[in-house]
Chains A and B, each alone.
Chain A
Amino acid sequence: MAKSPRTSKATAKKAPAKKPATKKPKAAEAVATDGDFVLHSLQDAHEKNPRYDASVEEMMEFYEQMLLIRRFEEKAGQLYGLGLIGGFCHLYIGQEAVAIGLQSALDKDKDSVITGYRDHGHMLAYGIDPNVIMAELTGRQAGISKGKGGSMHMFSTEHKFYGGHGIVGAQVALGGGLALAHQYSEDGGFCLAYFGDGAANQGQVYETFNMAALWNLPIVFVIENNGYAMGTAVTRSSAETEFYRRGTAFRIPGMDVNGMDVLAVRAAAEVAFDHVRCGKGPVLMELNTYRYRGHSMSDPAKYRTREEVQEQRDHHDPIEAIKKALMENGKTEDELKSIDKAIRSRVADSADFAENSPEPEAAELYTDVLVEEY
């Protein structure tokens, strides 16, 4: 069974372990240096101020953006069922708060983002036109990769979004390279590199941790822990399920974040991004989240119970939470419903566009293999 997304209660339970070890003998205390402090200082800062103090306008924005991802993904699932989307298709439903909370805190002119194959949400979080994303899913010429990439391979260098990578964990090393490019060209940006709890067991992740810390690269590693690597629960795949601790051996400070609460994610992002922007080197964030749908569309769903999924939907849904907060701040049910309606219509348009756009020209088969002619 998956590790539940950490609530403040869970955090409190763990707190004693993080307190200075008063029971330690004096000699050990002497060994504890400022260098060790930095490993939990970001978490301490986050716990002091666990939720972002958002204005109503910001909350509305988060709500709309998360809802766009959800409705888009629901539609993608539907189109997949109709045979309009082929191959693998990994939906982001349930994890929306992660991409929105983090990406809302980026400097979009400077910072870069890279992720794995579950990438639709991260692109939508950038405000990339849903039409070209959906058209890529249906394999059309108008798709963002001219129909040649598909669900897992989408890019927008214009938005500094570098994919969209299908090999589990590869984006972490590539993200290290993007960070190196930021550092090398002194452009003031950093790289936000997402990966899952499954990818967190790949060797190259730790190779990258080592070099990122060694070279003080400007990178934020984000583990989206949705509890399952395909169908394998974290407890069955990972010796250390507290993923935020996994940078410790490389002296990378970790943060343990409730990924089902967009305001908690945003608050944590402020702390982490500030650290990196100040030139203090990499940060590792564990975002505890949950995916409602299967790993991909062909998931047998035999590895978890319906009750478990339902519990998450009923009690931890990020969109419901922000909706509730908005209503507490004077927004009416009708107002929010009309937003949902507009988003549904926007998504329906993108589906129409994706369905009616032509497939790539046959000549596209041979283009873009190489840039130059030899």
Chain B
Amino acid sequence: MAIELKMPALSPTMEEGTLAKWLVKEGDEIAPGDILAEIETDKATMEFEAIDEGTVGKILVEEGTENVAVGTVIAMLAGEGEDASDVSAASAEAPKAADAADGEGKEIGREPSEAEITKPVKAEPKRDPEIPHGTNMATVTVREALRDAMAEEMRRDERVFVMGEEVAQYQGAYKVTQGLLDEFGPKRVIDTPITEYGFAGIGAGAAMGGLRPIVEFMTFNFAMQAIDHIINSAAKTNYMSGGQMRCPIVFRGPNGAASRVGAQHSQNYGPWYASVPGLVVIAPYDSSDAKGLMKAAIRCEDPVVFLENELVYGRSFELPELDDHVLPIGKARIMREGSDVTIVSYSIGVGLALEAAEELAGEGIDAEVIDLRTLRPLDKQAVLDSLAKTNRLVIAEEGWPTCSISSEIVAICMEEGFDHLDAPVTRVCNEDVPLPYAANLEKMALIDTPRIIEAVKKVCYKV
């Protein structure tokens, strides 16, 4: 019986890719292990191997075709005794779900969901007042924005260097450091062994010694091994030395839940680091903030924890075309103006909050969306000003509820905004469980737009 060859997935979250090259042609005899084609995404290239033996029948997707959905039948394979020329596709339609997930280890191209990338953010975010009026805007992914920020600062200051696992030759586990090795060489783009505690300490020591390290953690989950240096060495030294010894370092990497990687690889450390005096903690959402705040972080005299989000890396946003786009640390941004209710969020939650606001607008609720951008020092005033205007507030946080940024915002509203409250401040967070692997359970555990909408309606007494 003829076998369908389907577009493979490079990772659990990949939904489509480019069929870059066919390495076989119709009529070729193939055996298991033969390489049939090369598949590409913006992050990686993978060779597609045969698992069955037979003759290549009809090739249904030409090489060079982009946006081929995972599961699409790309060719037919004739088995023994079949005539390859008779074999044609029963159905070229792609099944909805990827069925060939090849979940590799942490280092192998964990691809952001293409659906996430291309999902249009319906609401047009409000222009950042920090950006001069009339500035030309380019469309750039968060991944590129971060890379450009580092490259620009490395050009500007010889002391700036990047170190971490796979940052150089591999071009970054998530390709954030792509191209840096080529431009700056191995002295300034340093591949480390898998030894987080050690290289976080070396980074902190180098900062104390006068350099400007950018330490990449492949994800912040692995920074748990290094948290001692982030807190005890980097954050506290300036204070303990009476201002004598600084530690100007940036610890950066993806934070928060990725997709289907289970509990140990899915956690938001924002609240952890934001609780530590002596640290600056930044968690941007879009490309403009990613770039402007990364540049500010690298120039900053204080240690910075810069929390990125894997699922946002591939999303495209407007980025001002400025020679030196640096944004102020510690300032929240009004992403959408509104008068009925405030939704406060940060990182990936901002996209969900904007979606929720758009839907709510259709139901007559005008929501203001605030992106905190910096978690420490927190822009309390922006939150309180918005609360004073709307009198209702919901926090959307992709993270656990207990002792969270949400808890902190609730406390601020109680202590300093009580007189402005018309309804209880409400948190929308992940469920208070380790993140499960199963697709359905994972979905249940994470915040989403409907839950934000529900909470907003509740504080507006519209349920």
Contact = CB atoms under 8 A, between A and B. Distances in A.
A208 B203 CA distance: 11
Contacts of A203: 197
A180 interface: yes
A182 B209 contact: yes
Given A112-B209, A177-B203, A211-B193, A372 B301 contact: yes
Contact of A368 (B161, B190, B242, B329): B242
B238 A370 contact: yes
A116 interface: no
A58 B44 CA distance: 64
A151 B128 CA distance: 48
B300 interface: yes
B245 A184 contact: no
Contacts of B193: 207, 210-211, 214
B197 A207 contact: yes
Interface stretch (B4-12, B28-36, B229-237, B267-275): B229-237
B206 A149 contact: no
B242 A146 contact: yes
Contacts of B204: 173-174, 177
Interface string B178-193: 0000000001001011
A145 B211 contact: no
B330 interface: yes
B334 interface: no
Contacts of B94: none
Interface string B13-48: 000000000000000000000000000000000000
A176 B280 contact: no
Nearest to A180: B206
A149 B202 contact: no
B263 to A, nearest CB: 23
A167 B242 contact: no
B245 A208 contact: no
B131 to A, nearest CB: 19
A14 B292 CA distance: 61
Given A170-B201, A178-B208, A207-B197, A155 B301 contact: no
Interface string A153-185: 111110000111111001011111111111011
A362 interface: no
Contact of B208 (A148, A174, A184, A370): A174
A144 B242 contact: yes
Contacts of A143: 242
B246 A173 contact: no
A167 B205 contact: no
Given A173-B197, A177-B205, A155 B244 contact: yes
Contact of A149 (B229, B241, B278, B301): B241
B277 interface: yes
Nearest to A182: B209
A177 B209 contact: yes
A367 interface: yes
Contacts of B242: 143-149, 368
A221 to B, nearest CB: 13
A180 B238 CA distance: 20
Interface in B195-248: 195, 197-211, 213, 228-229, 232-233, 237-246, 248
B374 interface: yes
Nearest to B278: A369
B377 interface: yes
Nearest to A214: B193
B202 A177 contact: yes
A147 B206 CA distance: 25
A167 B205 CA distance: 14
Contacts of A177: 201-209, 213
A238 B241 CA distance: 33
What is the interface residue range for chain B against chain A?
A: 35 or more
Interface residues of A, number: 49
Nearest to B192: A211
Interface in A266-290: none
A157 B210 CA distance: 10
A69 interface: no
Contacts of B232: 166-167, 170
A374 B201 contact: no
Contacts of A181: 205-206, 209-211
Interface in A352-369: 367-369
A181 B248 CA distance: 13
A4 interface: no
A165 B278 CA distance: 16
Given A178-B209, A184-B187, A211 B202 contact: yes
Contacts of A175: 205
A296 to B, nearest CB: 18
Interface string A190-215: 00000000000001100110110011
Contacts of B377: 370, 374
A371 interface: yes
A175 B245 CA distance: 14
Contacts of B246: 371
Given A148-B240, A163-B241, A181-B205, A176 B210 contact: no
A374 B190 CA distance: 31
A114 interface: yes
A157 B243 CA distance: 11
A368 B377 CA distance: 15
B148 interface: no
A202 B444 CA distance: 41
A104 B374 CA distance: 47
A171 to B, nearest CB: 8
A208 B229 contact: no
A175 B203 CA distance: 10
Given A372-B302, A374-B328, A174 B243 contact: no
A217 B233 CA distance: 21
Given A170-B232, A176-B202, A203-B197, A185 B241 contact: no
Contacts of B190: 215
Nearest to A149: B240
A175 B300 CA distance: 22
Contacts of B202: 173-174, 176-177, 180, 208, 211
Nearest to A210: B193
Interface of A: 112, 114, 143-149, 153-157, 162-167, 170, 172-182, 184-185, 203-204, 207-208, 210-211, 214-215, 367-372, 374
List of 9 A-B pairs having minimum Cβ-Cβ separation, nearest first: A177-B205, A173-B201, A207-B198, A181-B209, A374-B330, A146-B242, A174-B205, A371-B301, A177-B206
6 contacts: A149-B242, A155-B237, A174-B204, A178-B206, A368-B238, A374-B280
Given A149-B240, A173-B201, A372-B302, 4 more contacts: A180-B202, A210-B193, A369-B239, A371-B238
